Copies of this chain bind each other. A is one copy, B any other.
């Protein structure tokens, strides 16, 4: 059994928080986005929060965990919405937010502590040499870079650079193992897939080296359309314009923009769909030409807004990706959403088919990205939630129509992702976390090697039931 008292003694000097109220608050992420996860995980909490000051303290914490059998769930800032950072077996949540130093900034790359908030990292590289990260989640101003790599996938900038999974979008990750004497590994190249998007189940990332690109004062633009499919085609065509530099293209179907983007409501009619775009200042002329050719109506552009107005309006990236859903949830807590891939080259038709199938039950929200070199789109449609069976049915219909779902209503790596185990991540967990203490319950392949992914059965982490019983 885990010996928490001994654990505390072993890490003497490390910042510890054990006030139950605060511990509970710091144990939670955005799992409540999903009505399914909310039901399953609402009771989950850690026993302690530890906040290491540096890598040496991370090593001490992991050695102590190994010795005492205390589970450790690593946490950036807990913005994950798949319940990634929920400590299913209790134990310790280790917050990495103090590992926030910015190291060497070179042309095209930066080294930084894993716990730095992404926008703060960008602020440093911008000030240093007019550079910024290639891509970031819409939680730019709250999420950590380590949490993005361990628990995220892509976002603003993916229209140019693809996703985190693409070779070259992370250069190096420095990882501490959970062993008697934790090892510190500098992981590069192919090996990065061992720890990227592994929910911290097989090592703790303390430092990252990320590629940079030129930073610009991106202009936020809203383009309005009477017809949603016209908005989608506009986005697709824009994504395929090789010379027009944009960082974000998101068509969102009416009435979502009007109903949920309250501060931008004044620019819109309720029956208008929009495309949210971020355009480089030097591409604005070309963008205007592109829009004029299509007689598209630019209803808002931040470079024409007053300073007053800008203060009251959230940035465009906080209308997009999961922030669309967040804004929806604030207005109507009963909604939820999905994550879909509409594969190239039939993505536009697929979107149209799904819109035809579900209508206003599943208002569409697309995010154009590069995917294996082609411009295609993900979907993060809003779902007007009625019941779990209906939600499952909606997902089933997507998949039956050739649109794979990344199920945001599952807390395991496999069920929220490719629905198959990842032998590379599993093998690395055997090496780096032999006692299975890191973020227990998230990797099915570890917990239940015989689990049959084709069964359609839901995985239930036994430890979770135990925790629930104890709660």
Which residues A280-297 have CB closer than 8 A to chain B?
Answer: 280-283, 285-290, 292-293
How does the 8 Å CB contact mask read for A202-232 relative to B, with 1 for contact and 0 for none? 0000000001111111000000000000000
A108/B211 contact (C-beta < 8 A), A190-B289, A240-B374, A242-B161 known:
no
A-B contact pairs, 5 of them (CB 8 A): A161-B243, A168-B286, A211-B283, A241-B373, A242-B370
A171 within 8 A of B: yes
A192's nearest neighbour on chain B, judged by CB, is: B289
Which residue in chain B gives the minimum CB-CB distance to A170? B243
Known contacts A108-B214, A214-B214, A374-B374; is-contact A245 B283 (Cβ 8 Å): no
- The reply to whether the CB of A375 lies closer than 8 angstroms to some CB of chain B is yes
Residues of chain B contacted by A168 (CB below 8 angstroms): 241, 243-245, 283, 285-287
A214 touches B107 (CB 8 A): yes
CA distance A290 to B172 in the complex (A): 15
One complex includes copies of this chain to the number of 2
Q: Do the beta carbons of B373 and A243 come within 8 Å of each other?
A: no
- A244: which B residues are within 8 A, CB to CB? 166-168
Interface size on A, residues (CB 8 A): 53
A76 at interface (Cβ–Cβ under 8 A)? no
Are B214 and A281 in contact (CB-based, < 8 A)? no
Using CB atoms, name the residue of chain B closest to A344. B374
Q: For residue A279, give the distance in angstroms from its CB to the closest CB of chain B.
A: 10
Contact with B along A105-136 (1 / 0, CB 8 A): 01111000000000000000000011100100
Q: Knowing A188-B285, A283-B211, A374-B374, say if A242 contacts B107 (CB, 8 Å).
A: no
Q: Find chain B residues with CB under 8 A from A370 CB.
A: 242
Nearest opposing residue in chain B for A215, CB measure: B107
Say if the beta carbon of A239 comes within 8 Å of chain B.
yes
Would you call A285 and B171 a contact (CB within 8 A)?
A: yes
Q: Are B166 and A281 in contact (CB under 8 A)?
A: no
Shortest Cβ distance from A236 into B: residue: B373
Contact of A166 among B130, B214, B242 (CB under 8 A): B242
Cα–Cα distance between A243 and B107 once the two chains are bound (Å): 16
User: Which residues in window 128-147 of A have CB below 8 A to B?
Assistant: 129-131, 134
Specify which chain B residues have a CB less than 8 angstroms from the CB of A289 in the assembled complex.
Answer: 167, 188-190
Shortest beta-carbon contacts, A-B, top 8: A240-B373, A162-B242, A168-B243, A168-B286, A108-B282, A166-B243, A189-B289, A169-B243
Report the nearest B residue to A214, measured CB to CB.
Answer: B214
